[in-house]
Structure 1
Amino acid sequence: MPADSPVATPDVAVSDAVRAFAFIGDLSMGRPTDHSHRTARLAGWLALASGGQAAEQQAAEAVALLRWSGCTANAAGFDQLLGDDVAGREQMFAQTLRPLSLQEQRAVAPLAEIHCEVSGDIARQLGMGAAVEAGLRQVFERWDGGGQPGQLGGEAVPAVVYQVAIASELEILSQVHGQAEALARVRAAGGSRYPAALATLACSAAADWLAALDEPSPARETVDEADRRVPLALVADVADLKLPWLAGQSRQVAEAAQATARLLGLDEDAAAQLHRAGLLHGIGRAALPNHLWNKAGRLLAGERERLRLMPYWTFRAAGAIQRLKTEAELASHAWEKLDGSGAFRSLSGAALSQAQRVLATAAALVALRSPRPWRLAHDADAAAQLLRGEATRGMFDPAVVEAAIAAAAGARPRAPARAAVTLSGREADVLRRISLGESNKEVARALSISPSTVRTHIESVFRKLECSTRAAATLKAFTLGLL
């Protein structure tokens, strides 16, 4: 296949996509990477105990597994609000966070709206069904009407929301505060966060259920989930939402790696595998707080060590995404350097395969060509010069570097997916800039238009994409090939 042929969007089984979102969500929330799976089992048991059938059990499990799938979309807001989006949210749901001021409480509401819209959109794109989608769009509602995003309350909230909320609190609080205290807190929240009768039912069986969680349980999936396929790029796009300036970057790395592999003469299977690995290479970023990625200037030694864990967490995803173990393992080499100065394994020389060298080089070149909070994007010539300099110092393979630069110079735009939605050129310009985190004023200044005109374009984009938040619009635009 020629190097400039269109890139086919690789797909993945729905069940593997769900596992990937559960893994990313647990990392984002500072939870152990089995939290969502343990919560899913508890929620399923509670759904059955409260009179549900197999369909209700499956819906409860699915909502629990996807509950945190919107966490990347509001990470920037929580990092600004709490100082650490990962630790802050971990403390919030472990009920160890300091009391929030009234102003801080008000700031949480729009963040919850972002989360619910994105997670609901993910469920729709995964084809999870109306019950699961509705549960995720209302996942932070409360029985007393004091929840988010709609302050619905009572029977207006799907039962699965309450089942998953109780299951999650039982799982988290029993580990943080002990089982007795967890049961006391769940009982106390009955009648406010969730129905009192449901809390009582859960607490009556909780001891047995929590003990059963420690017994091995094979992952369950329906035949439908195993057969249905969704684009792997959806996982990449959601992971990239964590940092506004990352929007679409995993797609760029995937395409750069594939194009470079083709120029180097790698066979098409190897090139396609590199494309999938490129889509996965950034998912470990969810484990680390946004302020580390946003920091300008020299990092402290401890901060550098924390960032070195990013590819480790990507590697750990290999255990979560069963049919993509090889790709996830390859993806975890995206930060390695030929001289051994990379992360997380510090491999060097012959220990790095050609595919691993290609991925690391592609990731480095895309990063140089992309803006960061502390610098503008380098143009093609400057990026090529910097990358060649690093190759001269032994950090990258010179042959791979030249192939990556050549591929970037000769690449043609990816053929956009056909979509029912169309944006005007100006609407696309505005969306592209807000997807990178620019404010209305910054967009207006860059495009030489007024802030009110920017606002009008944003409203039009939201209306066309049926979204109400920037994160959801960014995700949907990438999914539809509009960006």
Structure 2
Amino acid sequence: MQTTIDPVMSLSELMLALTMALDMTEGQPPEHCIRCCWIGMHIGEEIGLTEHQLYDLFFTLLLKDAGCSSNAARICELYLADDITFKRSYKTVGTSLSSAINFVVKNAGAGQSWMTRISTTIDILKNGTNYAQELIETRCTRGAEVARELRFSEDVAQGVHSLDEHWDGSGKPEQLKHEQIPLYSRIALLAQVVDVFQFEHDLSTALDEVKSRSGKWFDPRLVDAFVSVSQQLAFCQGLNANDICQRVMNLAPAQVSISVNDEYFDCIVTAFGKIVDSKSPYTAGHSERVAVYTDLIAEELGIEENERKWLKRAALLHDLGKLGISNTILDKPDKLNDEEWEAVKTHSALTEQILLQISPFQSLAKIAGAHHEKLDGTGYPKRLSGDEISLMTRIITTADIFDAITAERPYRGAIPIPKTLQIMEENLHTAIDERCFNALKIAIHKLPSHYLSSEVV
């Protein structure tokens, strides 16, 4: 397992890989944020932004969806809809009132009874403006917070915050207009709409769409700049190229070497762990707690400090793939059906897939991705068994199971620690490693008091 970090690691490489998780929570095709970066950076160059401005624009574009997991549960609650499908479809809705109404009628209460769909649709038609304000404000506020947690400039944070403002003042959350809207936000929204429509249809359709919104959603000067960019052969060849990631990495801002020491690396990992946990009210703080339990178990097992540090990072990101699972499943109060359970089981493989894209995490990807494997071979995603499951994975698995039982779930309350340990003991040698379990029982007594609430002691 990797135990050192490159002192001049590529921050751009790290961010590009983690945007794959953001694409999942928005229901977008892979590399959406990366293509938006390609589009937006060409617009920025076309209008003559400085080197410093292009750097901030680069990360605004990659992080534009950093707050999107925070409103997923609320979308399901208000619209009775699959949040991922809802978000994906919403981005293709036209600007007319009829398009908005058609979207609501088609998506509100999808899969529910006709009575439920009718009542939900009426509610949304009546209160939709307020709901949209709430959802966008939640997303934009959290996205800006993530940018700050990642130590980007306030210009980047504001660029993320104002993504949904429109040139004519009809946007949200603050109804800014014209030059009141940060330039990076104006470019990012334009790039987003271009990518959604060009990927769904073609570049010509995207051009027609942004031209029709010029002066309404978009700054006319930026639309004109994109029209010029769209005529550049190199831009068009790169837009849907298989090596789009490398092409974006070759852009000037990505070449800037940023010193990422242990503390900054932990800051980045923690921020993305919070993005995962923000997706559901039932997973709030889950990744952080699993990381704490993981570290305490590892300490009891005598694992050396530097290796524990990397294992804790893997624990923080072990559920990264859950960003691709609908909240209709994650927050379901009833037993999952077979199709829903199969969907849940994809999250650990998705975690591994994303972490494999990040050089420092390649040795940890399999550890994090195997946290639902079982010693008896009945786990997922690869049905590993026995010695095929590393000690590091067994530690995370033990920590994850402990938190899953002691935390409140959609279908039950939190379970007290004594009862949790009894349940876990019944699963020794099948799902849980005995050494890790014994270490956990000792480690529990070292937990800070706020981890031992009255509900679970």
Aligned to 1:92: 90
The CA deviation at 1:104 is 2.3
Superposition pairs of residues 317-336 of structure 1, within 5 angstroms? 317-336=354-373
- The question of 1:24 aligning with 2:28 is answered no
Q: What are the Cα deviations for residues 367-424 of structure 1, in whole angstroms up to 9, with x where unaligned?
A: 11111121111111110111111125x222223222223322x2231899xxxxxxxx
* Secondary structure class of the residue paired with 1:217: helix
> Any conservation in 2 of the 1:21–1:69 contact (CA below 8 Å)?
no
Aligned pair partner of 1:374 in 408, 411, 420: 411
Aligned pair partner of 2:236 in 206, 210, 213: 210
> Any conservation in 1 of the 2:198–2:204 contact (CA below 8 Å)?
yes
The CA deviation at 1:343 is 1.8
Aligned equivalents of 2:313 and 2:358: distance in 1?
A: 12
> Any conservation in 1 of the 2:144–2:158 contact (CA below 8 Å)?
yes
> Any conservation in 2 of the 1:43–1:57 contact (CA below 8 Å)?
no
* Secondary structure class of the residue paired with 1:24: helix
Aligned to 2:208: 184
Aligned equivalents of 1:78 and 1:325: distance in 2?
A: 34
Aligned equivalents of 2:187 and 2:259: distance in 1?
A: 22
> Any conservation in 1 of the 2:10–2:258 contact (CA below 8 Å)?
no
> Any conservation in 2 of the 1:14–1:126 contact (CA below 8 Å)?
no
> Are residues 70 and 242 of structure 1, via their aligned partners in 2, closer, same or farther at CA, if it must alter by over 3 Å?
same
> Are residues 415 and 365 of structure 1, via their aligned partners in 2, closer, same or farther at CA, if it must alter by over 3 Å?
closer
Aligned to 1:165: 189
The CA deviation at 1:249 is 1.2
Superposition pairs of residues 216-365 of structure 1, within 5 angstroms? 216-217=246-247, 219=249, 220-224=254-258, 226=260, 229=264, 231=267, 232-365=269-402
Worse-matched range after superposition: 154-163 or 208-217 = 208-217
Q: Which letter maps to 1:93?
A: K
Aligned to 1:411: 446
> Any conservation in 2 of the 1:287–1:310 contact (CA below 8 Å)?
yes
Q: Which letter maps to 2:431?
A: M
Aligned equivalents of 2:361 and 2:13: distance in 1?
A: 8
Q: Which letter maps to 1:361?
A: T
Worse-matched range after superposition: 225-234 or 349-358 = 225-234
Which stretches of structure 1, 4 residues or longer, exceed 6 Å deviation after superposition? Answer: none
Aligned equivalents of 1:181 and 1:238: distance in 2?
A: 33
Q: Which letter maps to 1:330?
A: I
Aligned equivalents of 1:74 and 1:109: distance in 2?
A: 11
Aligned equivalents of 2:364 and 2:388: distance in 1?
A: 18
The CA deviation at 1:102 is 5.0
Q: Which letter maps to 2:61?
A: A
Q: What are the Cα deviations for residues 79-120 of structure 1, in whole angstroms up to 9, with x where unaligned?
A: 223411111101111338843335224311111111111111
Aligned equivalents of 1:362 and 1:229: distance in 2?
A: 25
- The question of 1:400 aligning with 2:436 is answered yes
Q: Which letter maps to 1:223?
A: S
Aligned equivalents of 2:359 and 2:87: distance in 1?
A: 28
| RMSD over aligned Cα atoms | 2.5
Aligned equivalents of 2:23 and 2:66: distance in 1?
A: 9
Aligned equivalents of 1:369 and 1:289: distance in 2?
A: 23
Aligned equivalents of 1:348 and 1:378: distance in 2?
A: 28
The CA deviation at 1:348 is 1.0
Aligned equivalents of 2:12 and 2:396: distance in 1?
A: 26
Q: Which letter maps to 2:440?
A: A
Q: Which letter maps to 1:86?
A: I
> Are residues 104 and 341 of structure 1, via their aligned partners in 2, closer, same or farther at CA, if it must alter by over 3 Å?
farther
Structure 2 regions of 5+ residues with no counterpart?
1-8, 95-99, 105-124
Aligned to 1:41: 38
> Any conservation in 1 of the 2:66–2:143 contact (CA below 8 Å)?
yes
Structure 1 regions of 5+ residues with no counterpart?
1-11, 417-431, 434-445, 447-483
> Any conservation in 2 of the 1:29–1:71 contact (CA below 8 Å)?
yes
The CA deviation at 1:130 is 2.7
Aligned equivalents of 2:330 and 2:274: distance in 1?
A: 17
Superposition pairs of residues 142-153 of structure 1, within 5 angstroms? 142-153=166-177
> Any conservation in 2 of the 1:169–1:186 contact (CA below 8 Å)?
yes
Percent of paired sites with the same residue: 24
> Are residues 241 and 407 of structure 1, via their aligned partners in 2, closer, same or farther at CA, if it must alter by over 3 Å?
same
Worse-matched range after superposition: 123-132 or 273-282 = 123-132
> Are residues 285 and 251 of structure 1, via their aligned partners in 2, closer, same or farther at CA, if it must alter by over 3 Å?
same
Q: TM-score, normalised by structure 2?
A: 0.83
Q: How many pairs are equivalent? A: 406
Aligned equivalents of 1:243 and 1:399: distance in 2?
A: 32
Aligned equivalents of 1:384 and 1:295: distance in 2?
A: 25
Aligned equivalents of 1:130 and 1:248: distance in 2?
A: 26
Aligned equivalents of 1:237 and 1:211: distance in 2?
A: 36
> Any conservation in 1 of the 2:42–2:229 contact (CA below 8 Å)?
no
* Secondary structure class of the residue paired with 2:67: coil
Aligned equivalents of 1:364 and 1:283: distance in 2?
A: 17
Aligned equivalents of 1:197 and 1:264: distance in 2?
A: 61
Q: Which letter maps to 1:190?
A: S
The CA deviation at 1:48 is 1.1
The CA deviation at 1:199 is 1.3
Aligned to 2:65: 68
> Are residues 177 and 105 of structure 1, via their aligned partners in 2, closer, same or farther at CA, if it must alter by over 3 Å?
farther
Aligned to 2:134: 110
Aligned equivalents of 1:115 and 1:267: distance in 2?
A: 39
Aligned pair partner of 1:52 in 9, 30, 49: 49
> Any conservation in 2 of the 1:20–1:317 contact (CA below 8 Å)?
yes
Aligned to 1:129: 153
Aligned equivalents of 1:395 and 1:223: distance in 2?
A: 43
Q: TM-score, normalised by structure 1?
A: 0.78
The CA deviation at 1:170 is 1.4
Aligned equivalents of 2:440 and 2:184: distance in 1?
A: 49
Aligned pair partner of 2:221 in 197, 201, 204: 197
> Are residues 221 and 368 of structure 1, via their aligned partners in 2, closer, same or farther at CA, if it must alter by over 3 Å?
farther
Aligned equivalents of 1:71 and 1:157: distance in 2?
A: 20
* Secondary structure class of the residue paired with 2:163: coil
The CA deviation at 1:236 is 1.1
